[in-house]
Structure 1
Amino acid sequence: MSGDEEEPAPSSRIPVIGRLYITRDDLNEEFIRASGPGGQNVNKVSTAVQLRFNLWANQTLPQDVKSRAAKIAGSRLTQYGEIILQADRHRTRERNRDDALARLIDLLKRATEKPKPRKATKPTLGSKRRRLDAKKQRGQVKKLRGRSSGFED
């Protein structure tokens, strides 16, 4: 952050992991009608929540975390850089809101984990031998499919 930007109030901070956090300003909630449990209530009350997190506009997460989060989000990431999560497992708004936020935090936590670099390895001697043996055996099978040597009844 540069010196002229204000720190968000601690109450608007949502901790992700360690010192990383997101702010409530980055979130946008919309309540919609849910399918699933709820009986007649499901037709009358909008209990499902659609949580939108603007990933690209966020100022508190490092760029490498944002790019990994975009990869993890997959089809839940819009072309405008918003992660959309829909929660309708529960019958109440509050539980669905908490569920959506918990899923977003989990996604961001997974994005903070740096992938292990792949170390190039050579195939073992045993694996080379097994491969060659399998090739020879396959060649034998194909050879036996050929025409016979002329001794027919």
Structure 2
Amino acid sequence: MIPVKEELIKEVIFKTSRSGGKGGQNVNKVSSKVELIFNVANASFLSEEEKTLLQERLLNRLDTEGNLHIVSQEDRSQLLNKQRTLIKLTNLLTKSLQVQKKRKPTKIPKGVIEKRLNNKSITSSKKENRKKPGLD
């Protein structure tokens, strides 16, 4: 279960820096790029099973200390970028914690099998008719 925004903010660390891109002179003055750092192992709202599941599924996104880094620099506003990183984090956590339903194998209907075999025999007879007649 993913907690509400206020509880998430207590668990994460925000780092800001100057971002490139549009903004004119504003780019050189304002630190609008936001990097969210979330430690999966220290998250209080996750159970041990959820932590291990997240560490397996997000293995390629975690650094050596087990921190998850999410960066946003799309907007000129630091506040909007902060909100974007939180949204990205919640989406990533919900997607990673989702358990797929087990697939139930179904039987192939007899009609489908018959149709396939019929098509095979039709194709076979077409190809048989293309051969040169034998000199028996």
Normalising by structure 2, we get a TM-score of 0.68
1:95 aligns with 2:80: yes
C-alpha contact 1:90 1:96 (8 A) present in aligned 2: yes
Instruction: Report the equivalent of 2:47.
Output: 62
Which of 8, 16, 19 is the equivalent residue of 2:2? Answer: 16
The Cα shift of 1:92 comes to 1.1
Aligned pairs, number = 133
C-alpha separation between the residues in 1 aligned to 2:57 and 2:24? 34
Normalising by structure 1, we get a TM-score of 0.62
Letter in 2 for 1:56: A
C-alpha separation between the residues in 1 aligned to 2:51 and 2:112? 40
Query: Structure 2 unaligned runs (5+)?
Result: none
Instruction: Report the equivalent of 1:36.
Output: 21
Instruction: Report the equivalent of 2:68.
Output: 83
Letter in 2 for 1:16: I
C-alpha separation between the residues in 2 aligned to 1:43 and 1:102? 27
C-alpha contact 1:17 1:109 (8 A) present in aligned 2: no
Per chain length, whose mean CA-contact separation is higher, i.e. which structure has more relative contact order (CA < 8 Å, sep 6+)? 2
Q: Name the one with the larger helix percent.
A: 2
1:105 aligns with 2:86: no
The Cα shift of 1:47 comes to 0.9
C-alpha contact 2:13 2:36 (8 A) present in aligned 1: yes
Query: Structure 1 unaligned runs (5+)?
Result: 1-14
Root mean square deviation, CA, Å:
3.5
Which of 118, 123, 138 is the equivalent residue of 2:108? Answer: 123
